[in-house]
Amino acid sequence: MKMVAGQELGTTGMAVNSDAVAEEPAVEARRISKIFQGETEVRALDDVSVSIRRNEFFTLLGPSGCGKTTLLRVIAGFEPPTMGALYLAGTDISRLPPNQRPVNTVFQNYALFPHMSVANNIAFGLEMLGKPKDEVRQTVDDMLRLVQMEALKTRRTSEISGGQQQRVALARALAPHPEVLLLDEPLSALDLKLRKEMQIELKRLQNETGITFVFVTHDQEEALTMSDRVAVMNAGKILQIGSPQEIYQHPAERFVANFIGESNFLDATLSGGTVDLKAGGRYDVTVPEGVAEGSVSVLVRPEHASVRSGPAGDGEMSGTIETVVYSGEATTLHLRLATGEPLKARSPNSPGEGTLPGQGEEAAVSIGAGAVTVLRD
| pLDDT tens for each residue of 192-246 | 888 888 889 899 999 999 999 999 999 999 999 999 999 999 999 999 999 999 9
Which residues, in sequence order, are bridge partners of residue 320?
A: 336, 362
Pairing assessment for the beta strands 180-184 and 212-217 based on DSSP bridges: parallel
Q: Structural domains in the chain?
A: 3-234 (3.40.50.300), 262-374 (2.40.50.140)
Confidence of residue 2 (pLDDT cuts 50, 70, 90): very low
Phi, psi of 83 (to 5 degrees): -140, 155
pTM given for the model: 0.85
Residue 273 pLDDT more than 50? yes
Predicted pLDDT at 352 = 66
Rounded Cα distance between 138 and 357, Å, is 63
Residue 278 pLDDT more than 90? yes
Phi-psi region at 31: left, alpha or beta (left = phi > 0; alpha = psi -120 to 50): left
CB 113 within 8 A of CB 119: no
Please tell me the least confidently modeled range out of 4-13, 88-97, 175-184, 298-307: 4-13
Which amino acid, 232?
A: V
Confidence of residue 19 (pLDDT cuts 50, 70, 90): very low
Mean pLDDT value across residues 270-275: 92
Please tell me the least confidently modeled range out of 6-20, 65-79, 327-341, 358-372: 6-20
Q: What is the mean pLDDT of the chain?
A: 89
SS3 78: coil
Residue 15 pLDDT more than 60? no
Picking from 187, 128, 121, the residue whose alpha carbon sits closest to that of residue 158 is: 121
